[in-house]
Structure formats: C-alpha cells, structure tokens
Chains A and B, each alone.
Chain A
Amino acid sequence: MKSIKNHLSLIVALISILFSIQVFIVVERSIDAYKENLAKNYSVVVVSEKRIANSEFLSIDGLINRVEELSPDNIINRLNTGMDQKNINLLKLTLPKFYKLYLTKFPTPKEITTLRKNLFSNPSISKIEDFSNNHDITYKLLVLFKGVILVFAIVVSIVTMLLILKELRIWQFKHSERMSIMGLFGAPTWLRSAVLFRLSIVDAIISSILIYLIFMYISTNRFVLQQFDNINIKVVIFDTLNDFFLLLGVSLVLSILLATMIVLGHKEEV
C-alpha cells in the first residue's frame, strides 16, 4: 500500500500529460484524414475556349493532381429541342471546354488564390469556379478546431507541469532525508539518488503502459469508432509501436528530469 502511494502521485501526473499528448496526436490525425477526404471530393471547375491537354494542366500548378474533362452532353441534351445530329456536332465544337481539376491536398485560401492566378495565365481559360466560399468556411472551421485543441493541450500541459512541480517539492522533501542519511555514511551521489531514479523510471514505464491500455481500449470502443465513421474518416487512434515509444520517451525524459532536479536541488543536512 505504501509503495503504491509512493508511485501513484507521479503516475497520475505523467498519465495526464501523456493523455493530452496522445489526444492532440489523434486530433491532428483526424484533421489530416478529414482534409484528405475533403481534398478527394474537392475540385475546381475550369472553362476554356480551347482544349487543354492534361499534361498542360499539370504543368500549370503543382497542386493539380488529375484532370477530368466534363462532357457537354448534359447541356446539349437540355438544349436539344429537335436539333439534328449535324447541328449538335457543330454546337459541340463551338461550346467551351469544361474541366474538373482534382488537387493533391485540401488547399489553403492562399493556395486557391495562387492556383486561380496560375490558371488565368493560360489565355484559353475564361472562367474558374473554385467554390471558395464553401471551401473557406470548411477550412476556417478546421483551423479553429485545431486551434481549440492546441490551446486545450497547452492548458492541460501547463496544469500538469504545475502538478509535477508540486510533486517535485513533495519528492524533494520525501527523498532528501534518505539521501542525507546515505550521504552521512559516505554514499556517492549516484548511489544516494539510485532509488529516486529507479522509482521515476519505473513510474514512467507504468504510466506509458497504462496509457497504452487506455488507448487500446479507446481504439476498439464502438462509440468512438462510430464517431469517426460518421465523418467518413479512418484514423489510427494508437499506433502500437510509434506512439508507445514516443509516449514512453516523453515520460522517461520528464521523470528523469524531475529526479535530476531533485538531486541537483538537494542540500546536505548538517
């Protein structure tokens, strides 16, 4: 019981830091996945007087991923009120060409402006519809969401850091007596602080394992998965290898830093 109490305080502080880091990672991934999804569905419609080859479009702006020529048949069918085939073919030749441009990623408003400028540098292009109004709203919502999550993560980190600093004082008080006594019997600094470092490393490992278990549960939770399905994205909630080692690294660095600060701040008892 005593031993659990010794460990619990740091483990709780570490878990809250690791949790907020992982939540931020998941939100980042969700936004990226959502942006990718938007990019897949988002396109710019271009009207040109002359036919433009796909390769020419691709050379205009690196943002353009692929080009789809829109068939004029729909328009002609609507206009077709008893025209013969010869006139229809003639009309087809005089109609401007319509192209749908798919992009490599979901663009920022600035990228849209540059794209428009680059496209208009081609004299054949007469009109561009980029649906920028809708696009702007979606993009701004994403940026706002990301900003809110970032602020949330920063606030959680600050609060947890304050918790860790408080913990540092408690640890300093708790461990300084033992370190002083060992010092009176000639223990070198590394031996005096060995218990402290062992404790902090064990706590870092325990908190990483607990976070791993929490996120493993979350990543298989039906409710959570349903939320991602609702917005039609697939997100890796916890990458067993990369995320685990990243969080383990963070918790080890934090707890070793904490132990080092205690050792450096330790004043020998007279």
Chain B
Amino acid sequence: MDKVILAKDVSLSYDSNQTIIKQATFSIESGSFVFVTGASGSGKSTLLKSLYGAIKPKQGSLIVGGVELNNVSKSKLNFLRRHLGIVFQDYKLIKEWTIEKNITMPLLINGYEKEVTLNQAESLLKHVRLKHQAGKYPMELSGGEQQRVAMARALSHNPILILADEPTGNLDEYSSQLIWNLLEGANTQLKTTVIVVTHHIPSTLNVDYKHYHIEYGEISEIN
C-alpha cells in the first residue's frame, strides 16, 4: 500500500527552547483510519498542524502526499493543501460567507465550475442535515451545526487525506454521531485516509483503525 505520510525523526517546536514532538518516526498508509490521542498539551494539534504545513519540522523528514514539508515552496504547499480536508477544533468558517459558500470554498480554490460546486454543496448539506440552513451565516448556527458545516467543507473536494482536530470536542451526541458517520463513510466508501486527533475514540465506530498515542512528546503506536 502507498504511504500517504512518512515521518522520520521529526521534531516539532514553536520556538527553539521547547520541543513539543521529539524525533517521531511513523508512516500512514493510504486509505487508513488513524486516531491520535494524548493528554491536553501533549502536542496532538501541533502534530496535525505539521501535516498541513503550518509548522515546519525542526528536525527530520516529513513527507505528506508525496510533498516534502521541510523546505516546501509556497506553491507546492498550496498544491498539497488543495488535496487535504481539514477540520478544525474551532471550525474556522468564514463568518461573512453563507454556509453554502463556505462549503464550496475548497471547490472554488480547486477551480471547479460554479454549477458543480453548488450541486456538491447541496448534496453535502443534505448529508449533514443542514439543507434548510444553506443561506444562513455561521454565527446563526449552533456549535454542532457549525462543525457539521466544517465537516462538509472538508469532504467537498474529495481530498486524499482528512485531518480532523478534535472534531467532536464540544458537540452533542447527535452532531458527534453525524461527524463520525461522515468520517467513516469517507474512509470506507471513498478510501480517503482519515487522521483524527481526539481525547476519546468512539466505541460505535465500524472501521479498522490505527491508534497513536503522544506522551511527553513521544509518539507510540498502540495495538
């Protein structure tokens, strides 16, 4: 199987004094479902950020989707990001855009025709049970609804890799279940690689997964 992520001796830090992830070596196969767990402040989100190039490795080599992220150019990084679906803990929806426009944003960036983007948005809004809210703005929705919009946005352009940072962190059971179903569906039906940073792995999940745990900056695989 192809490796979608290859990390060798990767160290991550925000400044030179404190290393958050120490010499991590791991690989993730294409089409796999991966959980990354760890205590608050253990570096889970930092690791995720490094996978979409927001933080560059201080040491080691990190390759995501065939793109070496150590010394990546702006255009290559943009190219990689266009093929990723990212779900943020704080949703990161564009406030001045309707939720329909938010969902179509990755498609717009990827150069899809407007008609295609609108069809895709309609279909995804149906999936996340928000079709009736298409014209609303993010601030008019609840936290759970906003996260469902963020999920739909991450799936809209059929990415090769979904990176989700505590996607169900503050959500009610209904919204959480909907998010897990969508992630599971993307993985099983579209063979999309999914990496989820979370505190708790849901027991209802019907998919084989890999589990990495971070403790004191060290990553270990849990069987």
Contact = CB atoms under 8 A, between A and B. Distances in A.
Given A177-B95, A181-B94, A186 B109 contact: yes
Which of A188, A268, A269 has most chain B Cβ within 10 Å?
A188
Interface stretch (B49-57, B120-128, B210-218): B49-57
B105 interface: yes
Interface string B68-84: 00000001011111111
Contacts of A269: 54
B172 interface: no
A78 interface: no
A110 interface: no
B109 A182 contact: yes
A185 B75 contact: no
Interface string A166-209: 00000000000110011111111001000000000000000000
B55 A186 contact: no
Nearest to B95: A177
B92 interface: yes
A147 to B, nearest CB: 46
B43 interface: no
Contacts of B108: 191
A183 B92 CA distance: 12
B82 A2 contact: no
Nearest to B106: A185
A184 B86 contact: yes
A270 interface: yes
B96 interface: yes
A191 B81 CA distance: 14
Q: How large is the interface on B (under 10, 10 to 19, 20 to 34, 35 or more residues)?
A: 20 to 34
A187 B94 contact: no
20 contacts: A6-B96, A177-B94, A177-B95, A178-B94, A178-B96, A181-B92, A181-B93, A183-B78, A183-B81, A184-B81, A185-B81, A185-B84, A185-B86, A185-B109, A186-B82, A186-B109, A188-B75, A188-B78, A270-B49, A270-B54
Interface residues of A, number: 16
Contacts, number: 50
B55 A270 contact: yes
Contacts of A177: 94-95
A183 B52 CA distance: 11
Given A191-B109, A270-B54, A186 B79 contact: yes
Interface in A75-124: none
A186 B78 contact: yes
A2 B92 contact: no
Contacts of B105: 181-182, 185
B95 A187 contact: no
A174 to B, nearest CB: 8
Contacts of B77: 186
Interface string A222-259: 00000000000000000000000000000000000000
A2 B96 contact: yes
Contacts of A268: 54
A186 B105 CA distance: 10
Contacts of B82: 185-186
A112 to B, nearest CB: 64
Which of A177, A185, A187 has most chain B Cβ within 10 Å?
A185
Interface string A1-31: 0100010000000000000000000000000
Which of B79, B92, B93, B108 has most chain A Cβ within 10 Å?
B92
Nearest to B157: A185
Nearest to A180: B92
A191 B82 CA distance: 13
Contacts of B106: 185-186
A6 B52 CA distance: 32
Given A270-B54, A270-B55, A186 B81 contact: yes
Interface in B8-29: 14
Contacts of B86: 184-185
B204 to A, nearest CB: 30
A3 B192 CA distance: 38
